[in-house]
Amino acid sequence: MPVAGIDVGSLTAEVVILDQQKILHSVILPTGANSKAAAEKAMGKALEAAGLERSDLEFVVATGYGRVSIEFADKRITEITCHGRGALFLEPAVRTVIDIGGQDSKVILMGDNGRVLDFAMNDKCAAGTGRFLEVMAQALEVELEKLAELSSQAKETVSISSMCTVFAESEVVSLIARGLAREDIARGLHQAVADRTAGLVHRVGLVEPVMITGGVAKNGAVVKALNEKLKINLIVPQEPQIVGALGAALLAQEELVSGEQGL
């Protein structure tokens, strides 16, 4: 009984196809300007790779900011619930989930029963998100994937005073013009993201173990800075970017089972 979860964010769309809690296939694609088209494309690629047709799916749950545009979804569930559910599946002991995506970040506090107790979210601007790091990488004239490596070469940490993406970009340009090392600036940027994220963590309370999800979890410099700031060892999933879609797929499976039990 295959089911699917789809998470459409501002920068990427992820699909996870699940059968009896086994991941058959997952896909990550850029969202682009059309979230509806991205959802269709991502689902199509995932189904093709899994050797399935759309009609083979018993239930589909959509999440993410673009979930309202996914017409083929049977149910839509918030990303807070889906990220929490996905994280618990990967590590049942997890009590705090830090998700840093393309244009928002969130911290979710989980109870012993797996329910969401509290959460804090930064969705008003791109400060401390993937988009923030993308713009800063452009200012430093380095590929986003190599920003963490650049940071690892730093000898000092240059403090970044502004977390507003626009102002921080101007600040970085100014620091480069003053002759400061790009490596040191990069470390300062990662530290700024960690500081911003730690503020969200403290709003809900830190309970270990803690998992980090989202695309930014692939940035080792951010993970290192957060570990040092929070004095913990973050759990990083093998593929942190699909955790929301995984949670959606798990909830789809639960919806299917509960529906059958109600017959």
The per-residue pLDDT for 166 is 86
The per-residue pLDDT for 21 is 87
Q: What is the pLDDT along the chain (263 residues), one digit of tens a residue?
A: 899 999 998 889 999 999 988 999 999 999 888 889 999 999 999 999 999 999 999 999 999 988 988 999 999 999 999 999 999 999 999 999 999 988 889 999 999 888 899 999 986 677 788 889 999 999 999 999 999 999 999 999 999 888 788 888 999 999 999 999 999 999 999 999 999 999 999 999 999 999 999 999 999 999 999 999 999 999 999 999 999 999 999 999 999 887 654 44
* 3-state class percentages of the chain: helix first, strand second, coil last, to nearest 5: 50, 20, 30
Furthest C-alpha separation in the chain:
70
Q: How far apart are CA 72 and CA 182, in angstroms?
A: 46
Check residue 122 and report its DSSP letter. Answer: E
Q: How far apart are CA 155 and CA 160, in angstroms?
A: 16
The per-residue pLDDT for 253 is 94
Same fold flag, 1-91+238-263 and 93-236: yes
Domain locations along the chain:
1-91+238-263, 93-236
The per-residue pLDDT for 257 is 81
Bridge partners for 15 per DSSP = 6, 27
The string of pLDDT tens digits covering residues 60-118 is 999 998 898 899 999 999 999 999 999 999 999 999 999 998 888 999 999 988 889 99
The string of pLDDT tens digits covering residues 174-190 is 999 999 999 999 999 99
What is the C-alpha end-to-end distance of the chain, expressed in Å?
Answer: 17
What's the Cα-to-Cα distance from 15 to each of 74, 146, 242, rounded to whole Å? 15, 26, 7
Q: Are strands 105-110 and 116-122 parallel, antiparallel or unpaired?
A: antiparallel
Enter the pTM of the model: 0.91
Strand, coil or helix: 24? strand
The residue type found at 66 is G
- Tally Cβ neighbours within 10 Å of residue 143: 11
CATH T-level topology, domain 93-236: Nucleotidyltransferase; domain 5 (3.30.420)
Level-2 CATH architecture, domain 1-91+238-263:
2-Layer Sandwich (3.30)
